[in-house]
Structure 1
Amino acid sequence: MAAPAEEKFTTERIIAWHRWHDKLLSFRLTRPEGYRFTPGQFARLGLPLGNGGFVWRAYSMVSANWDEHLEFYSIVVPDGLFTSRLALLGVGSEVLLDKHANGFFTVDRLPDGKDLWLLATGTGLAPYLSILQDPDVWQRFGHIVLVHGVRQRDDLTYQNEIRALTTHELWAEHGHKLRYLPVVTRDAPDGVLNQRLPALLANGELARSANLLLSPASSRFMICGNPAMVEATHRQLMSMGYQLSRLRAPGQIVLENGW
């Protein structure tokens, strides 16, 4: 993919680097002055190809919109044009950043409701970690359920950060609203949900695990992850009476493909 015109991007530096395991990593970039985004949006990051060109990929922000840095969460694809290069970087390496954040995967697209369900698979967790650092979200909903589906237990990342959300000083009085439900489909520990998200919605197990009733009148859903999961989960919710939220016709679902 061709690089944007030079005035449309900045060159940022990696200031923190973390490998969860050989297929997952997180990193933080310097944040240019004046860079703004709404939690749930994504940035376009670029790396040189070595032939004078660049490769660009979209990454949701993990960091809060008030943080001094920008944090991202990535899967590593060994032969991936972007991630194979990304995996060789470290603290001090440079990454290009498009000057403008993009996307409409934001909570303000949902009408008011009682319960906010944040459904993710894999690195689709990323935008929710940013959304959950927005104090307005904690005040707006009575319950917030973060559901993270992965294949193996080692893929359940950001555990400390998720636990810390409930006691953050900016919304500590609302911390009790968060319910975290990990889902592991291949080697689930005892007591952890082990089916795919559409099935857990269909059989009612997801709602029972959160101790909440699902209803189009009170439940709001955000869906982020691989396209197959997003499509299947969307279809399941539609069969249960939920509708995609649109500008002129607000509904109960907003979605984003993580790939």
Structure 2
Amino acid sequence: MAQWLSGTVTANTHWTDTLFSLRVQTEAFDFIAGQFVRLALDTTDGRVQRAYSLLNSPGDTEQEFLISTVADGLLTPLLHQLKPGDTVQVSQPASGFFILDEVPDGKNLWLISTGTGIGPYLSMLGTDTPWQRFSSIVLLHSVRFAAELAYQPLISQFQQRYGTQLHYQPIVTREAYSGALQQRIPELISSGQLQQACGQSLTTESQVLLCGNPQMITETKAVLENLGLKKNLRRDPGQITVEQYWK
């Protein structure tokens, strides 16, 4: 049975009107980068809760979450309004198998995300594991508008620390933005434009993580399978590992 920690909000950063990051101080707890916990608030209608991936890396003193507000949602509009000093409940223990321990070795690692799906990748990149296991890493983040390209300073820190081992590739689908591609992920892979832009191959020697919109995952997985890659299972290791997010 899940247990709950009482957390104190230390920051609520609004990237856009509907995209925000919540930092929460809790008692220290262990987790593996890529895992999730549940956030909960008590309301007059009872407790409302939802799962969110931890964006911070293990060992950090505060927990961080990248959240998209759902207008008619029961929880996200309330989380959006939280201020430093407010209380939010955090579930224990952390859960999930979208972790690098479940991913086989490969020539390169593709971290492909839409929207808030970049969160667990930032957690992973803050650990030693991916840098020690993969000679090249591609961090791909697809959003609608450039303002949604969150955590640019953190990504720049990774680039400065690890140099050419990391290629960050933004995709902005609804407006032109310098350095960003503009088409949808499956189309970019099918045409080879994504591989060319990133300077990396997508073959059976690659490992690909997909996190975000379920439609993106379904369509991208099909394109990757056409290239000869297959879903990664414990009993049958492959190259495609997925985590689905609902907006």
Name the TM tier (shorter chain). over 0.9
Select 1:11's aligned residue among 6, 13, 34: 6
Question: In the alignment, does 2:204 pair up with 1:211?
Answer: no
> What is the CA distance between 1:191 and its match in structure 2?
4.2
- 1:140 to 2:133 alignment: yes
> In the TM superposition, what is the alpha-carbon distance from 1:22 to its structure 2 partner?
0.7
1:139 Cα deviation after fit: 1.2
Aligned partner of 1:184 in structure 2 is 172
Given candidates 228, 240, 244, the residue that maps to 1:257 is 244
1:153 aligns with 2:146: yes
* CA distance in structure 2 between the aligned counterparts of 1:17 and 1:249, rounded to whole angstroms: 42
Q: Provide the identity percentage.
A: 41
**Equivalent residue for 1:56?**
49
- Secondary structure of 2:168's aligned partner: strand
Q: Is the 8 A contact 2:6 2:26 kept in 1?
A: no
Supply the distance in 1 between the matched residues of 2:133 and 2:172 (Cα, whole angstroms).
29
- Code of the residue aligned with 1:232 in structure 2: it is E
Aligned to 1:247: 234
Contact 1:109 1:250 in 2 (8 A): no
Q: Residue by residue, what CA displacement relative to the aligned partner does 1:222-249 show, whole Å, maximum 9, x if unpaired? A: 0000111111111111121111111111
Q: Give the secondary-structure state (helix, strand or coil) at the position aligned to 2:109.
A: strand
1:119 aligns with 2:137: no
Give how far 1:129 is off.
Answer: 0.5
The 8 Å contact of residues 9 and 96 in structure 1, kept in 2 or not, is answered as yes
Number of equivalences: 246
Counterpart residue number, 2:218: 231
Query: How many angstroms does 1:94 deviate by?
Result: 0.7
Residue type at the aligned position of 1:96: Q
Secondary structure of the structure 1 residue equivalent to 2:140: strand
Deviation at 1:176, TM superposition (A): 2.6
Q: Is the 8 A contact 2:5 2:26 kept in 1?
A: no
Aligned position for 2:15: 20
Match of residue 83 from structure 1: 76
* Residue in 1 that maps onto 2:186: 198
Q: Which runs of 5+ in 1 are unaligned?
A: none
Secondary structure of residue in 1 paired with 2:15: strand
CA separation in 2, counterparts of 1:190 and 1:19?
A: 23
Deviation at 1:190, TM superposition (A): 4.2
Structure 1 99/212 Cα, relative in aligned 2: closer, same or farther at 3 Å? Answer: same
Query: Kindly tell me: are residues 84 and 212 of structure 1, through their superposed partners in 2, closer, same or farther at Cα, counting changes over 3 Å?
Result: same
